[in-house]
């Protein structure tokens, strides 16, 4: 079966592809920067109109809201889901017997209900049939994608407008920095995706596909802009871009390959076909180059790009590919999947306990999870919203009071976790030079964060960082920078605006699963006849709305933080310069620069043995296969979420490994293999660097200012500045931090 989220991927990637093709057909003589500058306004206007139009359409009628009725209509009537879903019969057997059609009114789907196009309602064919039976369509993600298509289209258009604005000719000098900001925001979007993993309605998965497609779109635009410079303007733009990214080009190259290798391979395949057409001298085909690039099996542009690829630092690029992929899988599987399974198990274990015990367990488990770097806070708040109202509604006097109590517990939990992260982890780690160096304590960005977060009271930038930033890294960084604990706690209090909608979303997930009369209600004498229809038919819609609100608060906070940090860098330069430089870290950075240059030298592709080349290629290929299986191909994991009828003992049979389907097992095997290949490469690289240092050869260093020239009598190496040799002091002792703190990527 085709993955429904391909629609998001194809549309988001298809927009830049269409504009690139249009440019090459109709505007050959126009510089690409000028061409995309025309598109910024129209794309933004079209995107905003799509989003507003979609919202207006939803407000016109309750029938347009995402409800079980609409899900059934799209899945059954418009998609004919039973005939397209491979494991339909298996899911049908797992439904309660009351959801099956009787022999007298057997439907094509085998269900006790069907969509009536005339009345625009669901016809219940048996007395005991109810909306709870529509749970079988939860795997029909196509229905959600069809419903949300205008929103997806609008977001894709707005995103492309966002990128086009960075490529305007007047902003060319800032374009590299802007692209890095976009990539950072996309990565934070993946963090938000992991946070949404416990939700239903396909929101988290749709967000993940949009982020992945956005990365592909940026890669395509980068290739179109800088991949084949022609003329003085194109060469100057490429050279300016290389200068501005200042050694970070390998990060971009590796991200390009890990996300876009299949499209790139398809691109070169089309180039071969194009060249073949030219050799056959078919009508309207260009002549083949007689010599140089374009005279072989590839076109001139593709041949030039392939030649440029051969000059890359392949070992470093392949290693960064593994880092990107491993980080992505940690967020999308360990954070997004396994955390949800753990919390679902917790809900089952504690649902019969009293409120005091449940509160204590939620706080204890929440603190433990908060102390793990990859785990976000949203699933923890969501769990509280599901669990506490269930066990506390009677004691606290109703659902509203239970929700208020849950919000207070969640805020206490968040502040307690931030305190532990800052005081028990961050501050003790601040005494270690390696840790301060790792977080870039002397970088302009971190010093700006220190300036903003150190301000007393509340301000927009401070609140945006503390509320929107990843939980563990943000709080630990505050401890490493030794910021005022009371001021950080004060700045964290507005997390209330993230906690409230998340808790409400969890509560509505729990309410959506309540029946008018369950077997438990009959046993307690609350009703006489079993009625499995939903008690609160509006709950599932409100859950999706509040969860989307929480995602907006979290992602919007990080966007605001980025804007304010950039403004602070420009307008508060004097205050930034007044912040003292960490001399120990500065000295360690100098030593690491030496080590990193040695790493680059010993991992030059022609010096790497064949077996280690194969190790790198296999590692990068493994993680790429893993990422594409998880994000694009699909079929890796059992459909699972917090609440909504999904339970650890029922859905997964009490075994966490049942979460992984066949493709999931393959993906996780590739993930583990990639980690082993990366470990082997790091061990080999460290060994080669140590051999170079022990050999007594002169250690090359990057250019340094003249005032850093060493005094006589110190150990020295030869470097160069502006083409002139310089003598620079270097600590050659084996106990120095040179090997430990350097870039271990090879």
| Residue pLDDT, tens place only, 601-646 | 889 998 999 999 999 999 999 999 998 888 777 778 887 776 656 7
Q: Measuring CA to CA, how many Å separate 135 from each of 129, 300, 445?
A: 12, 55, 48
Q: Name the region of 493 (left: φ>0; alpha: ψ -120 to 50; beta: rest).
A: alpha
Band of pLDDT at residue 322, cut at 50, 70 and 90: very high
Band of pLDDT at residue 120, cut at 50, 70 and 90: confident
How many CA atoms lie less than 13 Å away from 148 in the CB half-sphere? 25
pLDDT tens, residue by residue, 128-156: 676 667 767 766 667 777 777 787 788 77
Enter the tokens of residue 307.
């030649």
Are 319 and 288 contacting, i.e. CB atoms less than 8 angstroms apart?
Answer: no
Residue 124: how many other CB atoms lie within 10 Å = 15
Instruction: Determine the average pLDDT of the residues in 201-230.
Output: 60
Res 725 pLDDT > 50 = no
The beta-strand segments (E) located in 380-452 are none
Segment (H or E) for 532: strand 531-534
3-state class (DSSP) for residue 722: coil
Are 175 and 167 contacting, i.e. CB atoms less than 8 angstroms apart?
Answer: yes
Are 498 and 553 contacting, i.e. CB atoms less than 8 angstroms apart?
Answer: yes
Selection from 188, 45, 76, 85 nearest residue 474 by Cα: 188
pLDDT tens, residue by residue, 39-54: 878 888 888 898 888 8
Res 215 pLDDT > 70 = no
Please enumerate, as own/partner, the contacts of 419-422 that have beta carbons within 8 Å and a separation of 24 or more. 419/485, 419/489, 420/367, 420/370, 420/371, 421/370, 421/371, 421/471, 421/472, 421/475, 421/476, 421/479, 422/475, 422/476, 422/478, 422/479, 422/483, 422/485, 422/488
SS3 content of the chain, % helix, strand, coil (to 5): 70, 5, 25
Bridge partners for 637 per DSSP: 660
Bridge partners for 643 per DSSP: 646
Q: Report the first-to-last Cα separation within the chain, whole angstroms.
A: 41
The larger pLDDT score, comparing residue 445 to residue 191, is at 445
Mean pLDDT rounded to a whole number for the chain: 75
Of the listed ranges 14-28, 74-88, 492-506, 513-527, the least confidently predicted one is 74-88
Instruction: Determine the average pLDDT of the residues in 692-709.
Output: 62
Q: Which pLDDT value is given to residue 150? A: 83
Q: CA 699 from chain center: how many Å?
A: 39
Enter the tokens of residue 381.
């708040």
Q: CA 181 from chain center: how many Å?
A: 14
pLDDT tens, residue by residue, 531-574: 666 677 677 667 767 876 777 777 677 777 777 777 788 788 88
Band of pLDDT at residue 684, cut at 50, 70 and 90: very high
Which residue matches tokens 């780690």? 429
Residue spans of the domains in the chain: they are: 1-79+140-246, 80-139, 250-312, 351-571
Q: How far apart are CA 708 and CA 704, in angstroms?
A: 7
Which residues, in sequence order, are CB contacts of 51 under 8 Å at separation 6+? 150, 151, 154, 155, 158
Res 384 pLDDT > 60 = yes
Instruction: Determine the average pLDDT of the residues in 59-79.
Output: 73
Determine the number of helices (DSSP H) and then strands (DSSP E) in the chain: 30, 6
Q: How far apart are CA 192 and CA 645, in angstroms?
A: 24
How many CA atoms lie less than 13 Å away from 44 in the CB half-sphere? 11
Band of pLDDT at residue 404, cut at 50, 70 and 90: very high
The larger pLDDT score, comparing residue 555 to residue 201, is at 555
Enter the tokens of residue 598.
């040695």
Q: Which pLDDT value is given to residue 393? A: 84
Q: Which pLDDT value is given to residue 472? A: 77
Check residue 198 and report its DSSP letter.
Answer: G
Check residue 129 and report its DSSP letter.
Answer: -
Are 154 and 10 contacting, i.e. CB atoms less than 8 angstroms apart?
Answer: no
Q: Which pLDDT value is given to residue 707? A: 39
Segment (H or E) for 400: helix 399-419
Residue 715: how many other CB atoms lie within 10 Å = 12
Q: How far apart are CA 630 and CA 666, in angstroms?
A: 10
Q: How far apart are CA 488 and CA 455, in angstroms?
A: 9
Please, what is the angle between helix 539-571 and helix 203-226, to 10°? 40
Winning range, highest mean pLDDT, from 56-65, 196-205, 230-239, 728-737: 56-65
Of the listed ranges 205-214, 434-443, 524-533, the least confidently predicted one is 205-214
Q: How far apart are CA 496 and CA 502, in angstroms?
A: 10
Are 414 and 408 contacting, i.e. CB atoms less than 8 angstroms apart?
Answer: no
Of the listed ranges 67-76, 420-429, 732-741, the least confidently predicted one is 732-741
pLDDT tens, residue by residue, 635-662: 788 877 766 567 788 778 888 888 888 8
Task: Using a pLDDT cut of 90, give the percent of the chain over it.
Answer: 10
Q: How far apart are CA 484 and CA 474, in angstroms?
A: 14
Q: How far apart are CA 522 and CA 564, in angstroms?
A: 57
Q: How far apart are CA 736 and CA 408, in angstroms?
A: 49
Q: How far apart are CA 681 and CA 699, in angstroms?
A: 22
Are 376 and 194 contacting, i.e. CB atoms less than 8 angstroms apart?
Answer: yes
Q: What is the CA radius of gyration of the chain?
A: 29
Of the listed ranges 59-68, 108-117, 177-186, 378-387, the least confidently predicted one is 177-186
Dihedrals φ, ψ of 164, to 5°? -60, -35
Q: Which pLDDT value is given to residue 246? A: 53
Dihedrals φ, ψ of 329, to 5°? -70, -35
Segment (H or E) for 429: helix 427-429
Instruction: Determine the average pLDDT of the residues in 577-590.
Output: 84
Bridge partners for 123 per DSSP: 114
Dihedrals φ, ψ of 232, to 5°? -65, -40
Are 652 and 659 contacting, i.e. CB atoms less than 8 angstroms apart?
Answer: yes
Q: Which pLDDT value is given to residue 30? A: 79
The larger pLDDT score, comparing residue 373 to residue 413, is at 413
Are 327 and 671 contacting, i.e. CB atoms less than 8 angstroms apart?
Answer: no
Are 153 and 10 contacting, i.e. CB atoms less than 8 angstroms apart?
Answer: no
How many CA atoms lie less than 13 Å away from 174 in the CB half-sphere? 11
Bridge partners for 726 per DSSP: 719
């Amino acid at each position: 079966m085709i993955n429904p989220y391909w629609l998001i991927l194809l549309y988001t990637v298809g927009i830049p592809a269409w504009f690139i093709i249009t440019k090459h057909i109709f505007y050959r003589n126009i510089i690409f920067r000028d061409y995309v500058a025309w598109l910024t306004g129209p794309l933004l206007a079209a995107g905003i109109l799509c989003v507003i139009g979609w919202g207006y359409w939803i407000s016109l009628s309750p029938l347009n809201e995402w409800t079980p009725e609409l899900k059934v209509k799209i899945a059954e009537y418009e998609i004919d889901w039973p005939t397209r879903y491979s494991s339909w019969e298996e899911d049908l057997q797992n439904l309660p017997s009351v959801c099956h059609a009787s022999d007298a009114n057997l439907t094509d789907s085998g269900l006790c209900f069907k969509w009536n196009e005339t009345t625009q309602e669901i016809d219940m064919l048996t007395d005991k049939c109810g909306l709870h039976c529509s749970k079988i369509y939860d795997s029909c993600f196509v229905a959600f994608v069809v419903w949300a298509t205008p929103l997806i289209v609008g977001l894709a258009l707005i995103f492309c407008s966002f990128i086009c604005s960075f490529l305007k000719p007047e902003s060319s000098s800032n374009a590299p920095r802007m692209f890095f900001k976009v990539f950072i925001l996309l990565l934070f979007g993946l963090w938000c995706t992991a946070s949404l993993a416990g939700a239903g309605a396909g929101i988290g998965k749709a967000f993940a596909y949009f982020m992945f497609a956005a990365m592909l779109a940026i890669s395509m635009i980068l290739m179109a802009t800088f991949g084949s410079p022609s003329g003085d303007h194109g060469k100057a733009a490429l050279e300016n871009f290389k200068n501005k990214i200042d050694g970070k080009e390998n990060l971009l190259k590796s991200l390009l390959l890990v996300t876009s290798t299949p499209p790139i391979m398809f691109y070169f395949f089309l180039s071969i076909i194009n060249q073949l057409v030219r050799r056959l001298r078919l009508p309207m085909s260009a002549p083949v180059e007689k010599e140089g690039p374009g005279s072989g099996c590839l076109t001139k542009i593709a041949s030039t790009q392939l030649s440029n690829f051969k000059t890359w630092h392949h070992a470093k690029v392949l290693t960064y590919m593994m880092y990107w992929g491993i980080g992505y899988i940690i967020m999308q599987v360990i954070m997004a999947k396994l955390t949800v399974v753990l919390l679902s198990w917790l809900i089952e274990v504690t649902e019969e306990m009293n409120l005091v015990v449940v509160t204590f367990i939620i706080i204890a488990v929440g603190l433990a999870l908060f102390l793990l770097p990859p785990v976000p806070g949203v699933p923890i708040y969501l769990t509280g919203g599901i669990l506490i109202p269930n066990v506390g509604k009677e004691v606290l006097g109703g659902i509203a009071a239970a929700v208020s109590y849950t919000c207070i517990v969640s805020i206490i939990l968040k502040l307690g976790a931030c305190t532990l992260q800052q005081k028990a982890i961050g501050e003790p780690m601040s005494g270690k030079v390696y840790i301060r160096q790792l977080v870039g304590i002397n970088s302009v960005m971190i010093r700006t964060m220190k300036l903003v977060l150190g301000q007393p009271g509340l301000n927009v930038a401070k609140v945006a960082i503390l509320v929107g930033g990843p939980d563990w890294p943000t709080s630990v960084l505050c401890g490493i920078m030794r910021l005022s604990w009371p001021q950080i706690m004060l700045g964290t209090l507005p997390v209330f605006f993230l906690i409230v909608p998340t808790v409400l979303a969890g509560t509505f997930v729990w309410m959506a699963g309540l029946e008018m009369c369950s077997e438990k209600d009959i046993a307690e004498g609350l009703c006489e006849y079993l009625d499995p229809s939903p008690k609160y038919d509006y709950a599932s819609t409100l859950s999706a709305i509040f969860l989307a609100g929480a995602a907006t608060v979290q992602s919007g906070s990080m966007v605001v933080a980025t804007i304010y940090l950039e403004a602070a860098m420009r307008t508060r330069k004097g205050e930034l310069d007044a912040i003292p430089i960490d001399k120990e870290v500065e000295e360690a950075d100098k030593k690491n620069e030496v080590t990193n240059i040695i790493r680059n030298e010993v991992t030059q592709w022609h010096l790497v043995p064949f077996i280690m080349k194969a190790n790198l290629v296999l590692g990068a290929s493994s993680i790429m296969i893993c990422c594409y299986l998880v994000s694009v191909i699909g079929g890796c994991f059992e459909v699972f979420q917090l609440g909504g009828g999904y339970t650890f003992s029922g859905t997964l049979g009490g075994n966490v490994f049942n979460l992984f389907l066949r493709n999931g097992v393959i993906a996780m095997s590739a993930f583990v293999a990639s980690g082993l290949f990366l470990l082997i490469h790091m061990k080999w690289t460290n060994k080669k660097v140590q051999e170079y240092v022990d050999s007594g050869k002169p250690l090359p260093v990057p250019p340094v200012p003249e005032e850093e020239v060493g005094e006589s009598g110190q150990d020295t190496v030869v470097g160069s500045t502006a083409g002139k040799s310089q003598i620079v002091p270097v600590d050659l002792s084996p106990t120095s931090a040179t090997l430990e703190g350097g870039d271990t990527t090879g």
